Copies of this chain bind each other. A is one copy, B any other.
Amino acid sequence: MGILVVGSVAFDSVETPFGRVENVLGGSATYFSTSASYFTDVSLVAVVGDDFPKEHADFLESRNIDLRGLSRNPGRTFRWRGQYGYDLNEAHTLETHLNVFESFRPVIPPEYAGAEYLFLANIDPDLQMEVMRQVKSPLVIASDTMNFWISSKLESLKKVVGMVDILIINDAEARQLSGDPNLVKSARKILDMGVATLIVKRGEYGVLMFTESSIFAAPAYPLEKVFDPTGAGDTFAGGFMGYLANTGNLSESGIRQAIIFGSVMASFAVEEFSLNRLKNLSYREIEERYRSFKAMTHFEDLPETGGGY
């Protein structure tokens, strides 16, 4: 069985130095599930309003994403408006209209309750907890969060962190959650909250993974064309979880490969607005970019016997 993701489906209006779009398909669960769909079966739990057009649902279904958990409630779909300057690492939120998402209470359809891989996208940690109660015994639970929950629901969030296997957040969130400006110390403090694997996203600087016994550093793919970073983090998580679910290889080696697949998917996502670039990828392109990551990071190890001058 594949992955269950709980998160948001939204309409985004985005302005970057390279263009603007209005009310395009977005949301954490959307990016995640589209990305993961290249690797495994995905079931989605989210809510949309009665303004959600059939073409978007059709697109998600064309990616084999199971929408039985997508509620359609009276009202408008979640809307977000944001802007990026040349520093594409930082989004400036101009408007957030939660709309139907404000009263979102995720109900996991009974068919999904046996999901083996669960991704809790950035929602209220109390809701993340409710989801975990409804899913019997997943092999792997990963979660995301944001600054808003760290400041407003820290205790609930810490409980969630203690229950998931993998926490996927950005560097500012890691510093805020730990209260430590140093990322390595932050990581240690967060691991001490009870999560086995911490993945810290650093935008154009790539990803760091921390466990009790190791650190893995993966660069981002250096792109000539970064159009729109919206959704890059959820796309990363989708590729990452998708590859894990596809292979079932939960060793550190497998997790490292999954991080590279996540980075590959994120590198495609930012090349165009919305999900446009993710709509028509081939698995061959994905593998090619994986190999580019390998070529880009490879260097020879030292011989066994020491040198010295």
Contact = CB atoms under 8 A, between A and B. Distances in A.
A308 B295 contact: no
**Range, interface on chain A:** 35 or more
A259 B299 CA distance: 9
Given A17-B181, A297-B299, 7 more contacts: A184-B224, A188-B224, A208-B222, A214-B296, A215-B222, A283-B306, A294-B302
A299 to B, nearest CB: 4
Nearest to A36: B309
Interface centre among A185, A299, A300 (most CB of B within 10 A): A299
Nearest to A286: B308
B40 A309 contact: yes
A182 B296 contact: no
Interface of A: 17, 38-40, 86, 181-185, 188, 202, 204-206, 208, 214-219, 222-226, 246, 253, 256-257, 259-260, 283-284, 287, 290-291, 294-302, 306-309
Given A181-B86, A217-B219, A257-B299, A306 B284 contact: yes
A253 B217 CA distance: 20
Given A202-B205, A205-B205, A299 B181 contact: no
21 contacts: A17-B181, A38-B309, A40-B309, A182-B224, A182-B225, A182-B226, A183-B222, A184-B222, A184-B223, A202-B205, A216-B296, A217-B222, A217-B296, A259-B299, A260-B299, A283-B306, A283-B308, A287-B307, A291-B301, A294-B299, A294-B301
A217 to B, nearest CB: 4
B256 A300 contact: yes
A287 to B, nearest CB: 6
A304 to B, nearest CB: 10
A216 B292 CA distance: 10
Contacts of A257: 299-300
A95 B218 CA distance: 38
Given A184-B222, A309-B38, A291 B302 contact: yes
A256 B299 contact: yes
Nearest to A216: B296
Contacts of A307: 283, 287
A287 B309 contact: no
Contacts of A202: 205
A238 B300 CA distance: 20
A225 to B, nearest CB: 8
